Amino acid sequence: MGSFDFLDEVRRMNGRQLYYQVLNFGMIVSSALMIWKGLMVVTGSESPIVVVLSGSMEPAFHRGDLLLLTNHREEPIRVGEIVVFKIEGRDIPIVHRVLKVHEKENGTVRFLTKGDNNSVDDRGLYAKGQLWLEKKDVVGRAKAFLPYAGIVTILMNDYPKFKYAILAFLGLFVLTHRE
Amino acid sequence: MAPSKDILDEKPVKIDKWDSGALKNALDDGAKKVLLDIMGFKESHKLMNGRLFLCTVAIGFAMFALLWDYLYPFPQSRNVLLCCVISYFVLMGILTFYLTYVERGIFLVALEQDKARMEPDNKWTLQSSLRKYDDTYHLTVSFTDGKTQAERSTTISRCVANFFDDNGTFRFDLFQPVVRKLKEDLSSEKKMN
Amino acid sequence: MNSFTSRLNSLFAFTLSVMAALTFCCFLTTVFNDHIRPVELNVAKVLVKNVPDYSADRERSDLGLITFDLSTDLQPIFNWNVKQLFLYLTAEYKTSEHALNQVVLWDKIVERGDNTILDLKNAHTKYYFWDFGNGLKGNSNVTLTLSWNVIPNAGTLPKVQGSGSHKIVFPDQYTSGRI
């Protein structure tokens, strides 16, 4: 046996206890999932918490800082706001500040963004031929800020193996440890 | 019923003696073994089933939310998500309530069947607690008479060191008499009345 | 609590929760600050040209050319939960095409410890003042304001408009040629 001693506890369980063990693991995952979905409903944003992945907003935000977003329909977009937006053909959303806004009577709005740390506006980042962003491109507007809290995400992004190792370890720990 | 030989011959349970969770589990399992395997009572799974049901339904809500959000991306799925999230957290509340006020640390409900099957089953309940950073194990045995529904219980508190050796091997041979005595005390009380 | 790793784990978890609690308290102490400061704004030169906008759609658009004076002291805004201010000078106006236009003309990052007294005379704008169409010529209701986005060490990201504004009246004639 030796190194498999930790499995002894599992071996002593009956069917119901084993099932509960799996459920317990499922509930940890579900709780995280439901908190996330709940935040989505409350904030109106499909991604209510984002980690800053680039240095383009320095010195305000650094890589690994956490932003809380909201995206309520009725909330207007104004200059100076920090928006998170998606560009067609790019997977990763961008966090930048609104530089120009042109809003029509009926509420349709076109706006231009720029990163605080960049010397030019974002037209070069947008899709080919795209001059303005519209409301549909917005994932959320930054409402609160927490430094360093997303650093683990950065590590996981930079070293995918690290991510799988952590997930496997946590999964095994929860499944084999009887509460 | 005499303890059958193979029960005592099983591979001894060895645990990390500094892990209070593992200590409690080993003791609970031991007490369970006394009532079920040695005395031949039948386990009633009602309490555990209730907990499993609550958990399963809660996870069902979470999985449904995940699926629905995948099929109908976010702004569309908002109302369904809201329902699932509320149901999930209400269920978690019910589960907490269930664990604190219904299960209350009960880890075994065993039924003592009347040999002639004429009278309703007597109910034995085992309940235990072992606080973190505390070495005293509290075991409560409750007895409910099937006929009269009269309920009696006794509790013992023992230092866990009495039942484990230095290496963390569970000494079932030392623990078993304690549980038996508890049980017999309750049984004899029954006869006295 | 008998092994090195379990002690390390407890220590880490406890440190993390204490830090989270302290951060939250720090945020609570500053959450009700209004961050408003008086700002004096003035405009010296005001011209409008009609030239192709090569940064956008190459259509002939109105380009405002202004120089401005600005003076304010932002020292009182800084407290222990203010990391940086992002100042931006906004021109806000209405055209026949758009009910609301906001264009950032100038911005500046003031970090904690930087000079907080701003006194600009005859300053040039940092960004071009392009209108979306031809709505600047003869526009007599362009409001210039200075706002700032307060970046905390941790907490909300309030967007505050300084008290004080200046109204720009653009001339009825385009200026042609180089200036």
| Residue-level length of chain B | 193
CA distances, B132 to each of B17, B19, C89 (Å): 13, 9, 60
Phi, psi (deg, nearest 5) at residue B144: -120, 120
Chain A neighbors (3+ CB pairs < 8 Å): B, C
Between the two ends of chain B, the Cα-to-Cα distance in Å is 24
Judged against a pLDDT cut of 80, whether residue A10 lies above it is answered with no
Q: Does B166 touch chain C (CB under 8 A)?
A: no
Active-site residue list of A: 56, 96, 122
Judged against a pLDDT cut of 60, whether residue B8 lies above it is answered with no
**Of B146, B155, B85, B56, residue with least CA distance to B110:** B146
Percent of chain A with pLDDT over 70: 96
Question: C153 and A147 in contact by Cβ < 8 A?
Answer: yes
Question: A99 and C104 in contact by Cβ < 8 A?
Answer: yes
Residue B3: what pLDDT? 47
The residue of chain C nearest to residue B133, with distances taken between CA atoms, is C1
Nearest CB to B65; choose among A8, A24, A37: A37
Instruction: Between A153 and B114, name the one with better pLDDT.
Output: A153
Interface mutation vs chain C, best among A101, A121, A132, most C CBs within 10 Å: A101
Q: pLDDT of A64-96, one tens digit each?
A: 999 999 999 889 999 999 999 999 988 889 999
Residue B192: what pLDDT? 56
Q: 10 Å Cβ neighbour count for B171?
A: 14
Residues A87 and A94 sit within 8 Å (Cβ to Cβ): yes
Q: Does C5 touch chain B (CB under 8 A)?
A: no
Q: Does B101 touch chain C (CB under 8 A)?
A: no
Residue B191: what pLDDT? 58
Judged against a pLDDT cut of 50, whether residue A55 lies above it is answered with yes
Contacts of A6 in chain C (CB under 8 A): none
Q: Does B133 touch chain C (CB under 8 A)?
A: yes
Residues whose CB falls within 8 Å of the CB of residue A160, separated by 6 or more in sequence, listed in order: none
Judged against a pLDDT cut of 60, whether residue B144 lies above it is answered with yes
Contacts of C133 in chain A (CB under 8 A): none
Contacts of B45 in chain A (CB under 8 A): 16
* Beta strands in chain C, from DSSP E residues, in sequence order: 40-52, 60-73, 84-93, 100-111, 117-124, 129-130, 142-151, 155-156, 159-168
Contacts of C56 in chain A (CB under 8 A): 123, 131
Q: pLDDT of B11-49, one tens digit each?
A: 788 888 888 888 999 999 999 999 998 888 889 999 999
Mean pLDDT of chain B, nearest integer: 87
Chain pair B-C, CB pairs under 8 angstroms = 4
Q: What is the complex's ipTM, to 2 decimals?
A: 0.89
Percent of chain B with pLDDT over 90: 50
Question: C102 and A97 in contact by Cβ < 8 A?
Answer: no
Question: C86 and A101 in contact by Cβ < 8 A?
Answer: no
Q: Does C147 touch chain A (CB under 8 A)?
A: yes
Percent of chain B with pLDDT over 70: 92
Nearest CB to C84; choose among A59, A104, A110: A59
Q: What is the pLDDT along chain C (179 residues), one digit of tens a residue?
A: 678 888 999 999 999 999 999 999 999 999 999 899 999 999 999 999 999 888 777 788 999 999 999 999 999 999 999 999 999 999 999 999 999 999 999 999 999 999 999 999 999 999 999 999 899 999 999 999 999 999 999 999 999 999 999 999 999 999 887 65
Question: C104 and A104 in contact by Cβ < 8 A?
Answer: no
**Of C117, C136, C121, residue with least CA distance to C53:** C136
Residue B75: what pLDDT? 86
Contacts of C2 in chain B (CB under 8 A): 18
Q: Does C1 touch chain B (CB under 8 A)?
A: yes
Residue C179: what pLDDT? 56
**Model pTM score:** 0.86
Residue A33: what pLDDT? 95
